[in-house]
Amino acid sequence: MTIQTIKTTPYADQKPGTSGLRKRVPVFQQPNYLENFIQSIFDSLEGLGGKTLVIGGDGRFYNDVAIQKAIRIAAANGFGKVLVGQGGLLSTPAASNIIRHYKAFGGLVLSASHNPGGPEGDFGIKYNVSNGGPAPEKITDAIFARSKVIDSYKTLDTPDIDLSKIGTQKVGDMVVEVIDPVADYAALMQTLFDFDAIRGLFASGFTMTFDSLHAVTGPYAKAILEGILGAPAGTVKNGVPSPSFNDGHPDPNLVYCKDMYDLLMTPQGPDFGAASDGDGDRNLIIGKNRFVTPSDSLALLAANAHLAPGYKAGIAGIARSMPTSAAADRVAEKLGIEMHETPTGWKFFGNLLDVGRVTICGEESAGTGSNHVREKDGLWAVLLWLNILAVRKQSVDAIVREHWATYGRNYYTRHDYEEVDSAAANALVDDLRGQLAALPGQVLNGLEVAYADDFTYHDPVDGSTSAKQGIRIGFKDGSRIVLRLSGTGTVGATLRVYLERYEPADGQHDLDTQDALAPLIGITENLAAIKGRTGRNEPSVIT
Which residues form the domain of 457?
409-542
Same domain, yes or no: 9 and 123: yes
pLDDT, mean over the chain = 96
Task: Give the C-alpha distances (Å, rounded to integers) separating 247 from 59, 92, 133, 218, 279.
Answer: 13, 21, 30, 16, 16
- Residue 443: alpha-carbon gap to chain centroid: 36
Contact 490, 112 (CB under 8 A): yes
Closest CA to 350 of 106, 134, 55, 143: 134
Is the Cα torsion angle 320, 377, 241, 272 positive or negative in sign?
negative
Of 407, 435, 452, the last residue of a domain is 407
Confidence of residue 133 (pLDDT cuts 50, 70, 90): very high
What's 465's domain CATH number? 3.30.310.50
Q: Show the DSSP H helices in 24-127 as ranges.
A: 25-28, 33-43, 63-76, 92-101
Integer Cα distance of 464 and 462 in angstroms:
6
Q: What is the pLDDT of residue 540?
A: 87
Q: The sheet that has 236-237: what strands, in order across it?
A: 236-237, 208-211, 272-276, 283-287, 290-292
Closest CA to 450 of 425, 473, 419: 473
19, 113, 276, 486: the active-site residue: 113
pLDDT at res. 488:
56
Q: Which secondary structure element, helix H or strand E, spans residue 449, and what is its range? A: strand 447-454
Indicate if 106 and 32 belong to the same structural domain.
Answer: yes
Where is average pLDDT lowest: 93-102, 265-274, 425-434, 487-496?
487-496
Q: What angle do CA 374, 379, 384 make, to 5 degrees?
A: 90
Whether 204 is catalytic: no
pLDDT band at 542 (very low <50, low <70, confident <90, very high): confident
The answer on 171 and 269 residing in a single domain is no
In this model, does residue 214 exceed pLDDT 90? Answer: yes
* Separation of alpha carbons 165 and 223, rounded Å: 19
Tell me the pLDDT tens digit for each residue of 71-113: 999 999 999 999 999 999 999 999 999 999 999 999 999 999 9
* pLDDT score of 490 more than 70: no
Output the pLDDT for position 338. 98
Ranges assigned E (strand) in 398-446 = 409-420, 443-444
Same domain, 170 and 211: no
The SS3 call for residue 119 is coil
Average pLDDT over residues 286-303: 97
Q: Is 322 in the same domain as 420?
A: no
**Percent of the chain residues past pLDDT 90, beyond the cut:** 92
Same domain, 222 and 323: yes
Q: Phi, psi at residue 145, to the nearest 5°? A: -60, -40
Burial of 210 (0-12, 13-18, 19+ CB in 10 A): buried
176-203: b (≥16 Cβ within 10 Å) or e: bebbebbebbbebbeebbbbebbeebbe
Number of domains in the chain: 3
pLDDT reported for residue 487: 61
What span, in angstroms and rounded, lies between the C-alpha atoms of 218 and 211? 8
Same domain, 419 and 441: yes
Of 341, 374, 407, the domain-final residue: 407
Question: Do 312 and 306 form a contact (C-beta atoms < 8 A)?
Answer: yes
d(CA 440, CA 442) in angstroms, rounded, equals 6
CATH of the domain at 130: 3.40.120.10
pLDDT at 396 over 70: yes
Give the SS3 label for residue 478.
coil
Q: Is the alpha carbon torsion for 96, 100, 103, 105 positive or negative? A: positive
Amino acid code (one letter) for 298: L
In the prediction, which pLDDT does 151 show? 98
What is the rounded distance in angstroms from the CA atom of residue 470 to the CA atom of residue 453? 8
State CA 519 to chain mean position distance: 30
Whether residues 207 and 341 fall in one domain: yes
Q: Of 122, 155, 179, at which residue does a domain stop?
A: 179
Task: Please indicate, yes or no, whether residues 214 and 194 belong to a single structural domain of this protein.
Answer: yes
CA 15 and chain centroid, separation: 19
DSSP 190-233: HHHS-HHHHHHHHHTT--EEEE-TTSTHHHHHIIIIIIIS-PPT
My answer on whether 218 and 155 are in the same domain is: no
Query: Does 237 lie in the same domain as 165?
Result: no
Query: How far does CA 93 lie from the centroid of its chain?
Result: 9
Mean pLDDT in residue range 461-489: 89
What pLDDT does residue 255 have?
86
pLDDT at 240 over 70: yes
Residues 173, 84 within the same domain: yes
